[in-house]
Amino acid sequence: MKKILLAVFAASLISLFSWADDSVLKTGHPDEYTVKKGDTLWDISATFLNSPWLWPEIWHVNPQIENPHLIFPGDLIKLIYLDGRPRLTVERTLKMVPGAGGINGATKLSPSVRVQKMEDAISTIPLDRIDAFLSRSRIVEAGVLEKAPYMLAGQQQHVIVGAGDLAYARGTFDSSFSNYGIYRKGQVFKDPVTKEFLGVYAQSIGTVAIDNIEGEVAKLDVIRTYEEVRPGDQLLPSEDRSVDSLFYPSAPDDDINAQIIAVEGGVTQVGKFNVVIINRGEREGLQIGNVLAIYKTGEVVRDRVKGGKIALPDERAGLLMVFRTFEKISFGLVLEADRALAVNDKVRNP
């Protein structure tokens, strides 16, 4: 999965850019930047651009480089102009950053091939922040967890089990699945405006493999756990989600007017790299990689001249990228936060 995640940009990077001036470029931007280990594409983009998610629109593919869409530590990102328009391009060089095990200026060079592994390419965003949500957490319909098989106990009637233990579960199992995820029912989501039911948050607890099944009882090998597994935790077939791991930063095709309805961890204040849940999904046309702006509702102030009260305009306060979608709900990672964000803040097209 990680290899797929790192191959974040493909043919869409060749798209043309129609700005007639340099308004897209950040004031004081450098002319070049050497990629370091630990960088993300978002961070590098923010060095050059006012809006980092517009990177695909300004990227210039160098046809002489193998895998020009992938960027590696030691690569040189340069700002150039083609037909008067700004473009960013990458140069594969032998220049390595300090501590990266590369060469220095006094080293005598001989003709050689620089070998790069796919897993060494930098990622678009901090993958460790969303890994658990990419592979495990999910939103389910009402009643799905209640109908699912559930944990009974561990060996010798142990109530709590962990990775490496044997355990037992009861229910109707699908013979086409050998692995199941363990889930615990979380928050029930309703639209804050329409009160429509949106889904139930299924909190991931761990993963098990089916050893054998006798009637309604299955013997399980506990592969991994993220919390203590308890009797009553439900089992759902494991998902294969490798295709959903590609990220193409883009604006939504349709107008989106949403709200933040929850934050990962159950907190109410939201900051950079927090995972948030919004009340719009595939039904409204949201796709993985869509970038959305976050707005704080304008304050209501007293008009001391004409009297009465008036609402000030909403203020843009952050940016998020959608990384997982469901029918009516999506998960997003906050990539920019100019101030403290919160549940019920508005989310719109960037």
**CATH number, domain with residue 337:** 2.40.10.410
Closest CA to 275 of 286, 263, 290: 263
Q: Sort strands 269-270 and 234-237 into parallel, antiparallel or unpaired.
A: unpaired
Judgement on whether residues 140 and 221 belong to the same structural domain of the protein: yes
Judgement on whether residues 49 and 149 belong to the same structural domain of the protein: no
Closest CA to 132 of 227, 9, 7, 40: 227
Per-residue model confidence (pLDDT) at position 184: 95
Judgement on whether residues 230 and 136 belong to the same structural domain of the protein: yes
Closest CA to 129 of 241, 227, 272: 272
Would you say residue 144 lies in a domain?
yes
Q: How many CA atoms, within 13 angstroms, populate the side-chain half-sphere of residue 252?
A: 26
Looking up tokens 């990622």 gives: 123
Backbone φ, ψ for residue 320 (5° rounding): -135, 160
Token output for 150: 């559930």
Convert the chain into a string of H (helix), E (strand) and C (coil): CHHHHHCCCCHHHHCCCCCCCCCCECCCCCCEEECCCCCEHHHHHHHHECCHHHHHHHECCCCCCCCCCCCCCCCEEEEEEECCEEEEEEECCCCCCCCCCCCCCCCCCCCCCCCCCHHHCCECCCHHHCHHHHHCCEEECCCHHHHCCEEEEEHHHCCCECCCCEEEEECCCCCCCCEEEEEEEEEEEECCCCCCEEEEEEEEEEEEEEEEEECCEEEEEEEEECCCECCCCEEEECCCCHHHHCCCCECCCCCCEEEEEEECCCCCEECCCCEEEECCCHHHCCCCCEEEEEEECCCEEECCCCCCEEECCCEEEEEEEEEEECCCCEEEEEEEECCCEECCCEEECC
Would you say residue 30 lies in a domain?
yes
Backbone φ, ψ for residue 156 (5° rounding): 55, 35
Looking up tokens 């008009």 gives: 303
Average pLDDT, the chain: 81
Domain end position, chosen among 209, 242, 275:
242
Judgement on whether residues 52 and 151 belong to the same structural domain of the protein: no
Judgement on whether residues 214 and 284 belong to the same structural domain of the protein: no
Per-residue model confidence (pLDDT) at position 227: 86
Judgement on whether residues 261 and 222 belong to the same structural domain of the protein: no
Contact 23, 51 (CB under 8 A): no
pLDDT per residue as tens digits for the range 257-308? 999 999 987 676 788 888 899 999 999 999 998 999 999 988 899 999 999 9
Domain end position, chosen among 242, 273, 289:
242
Judgement on whether residues 98 and 154 belong to the same structural domain of the protein: no
Judgement on whether residues 267 and 287 belong to the same structural domain of the protein: yes
Which pTM value belongs to this model? 0.74
Would you say residue 247 lies in a domain?
no
What's the CA gap between 267 and 148, in Å, rounded?
28
Judgement on whether residues 43 and 138 belong to the same structural domain of the protein: no
What's the CA gap between 159 and 293, in Å, rounded?
46
What's the CA gap between 294 and 274, in Å, rounded?
13
Judgement on whether residues 22 and 101 belong to the same structural domain of the protein: yes
pLDDT beneath 70: ranges in the chain: 1-22, 61-69, 93-120, 128-130, 132-135, 159, 240-246, 248, 266, 268
Judgement on whether residues 235 and 288 belong to the same structural domain of the protein: no
Query: Rounded to the nearest 10 degrees, how much is the dihedral formed by the CA atoms of 328, 334, 337, 340?
Result: 60
Domain assignment of residue 322, given as a range: 257-348
The count of structural domains within the chain is: 3
Judgement on whether residues 152 and 195 belong to the same structural domain of the protein: yes
Closest CA to 282 of 252, 241, 239, 238: 252
Would you say residue 250 lies in a domain?
no
Would you say residue 248 lies in a domain?
no
Domain end position, chosen among 242, 275, 307:
242
Would you say residue 252 lies in a domain?
no
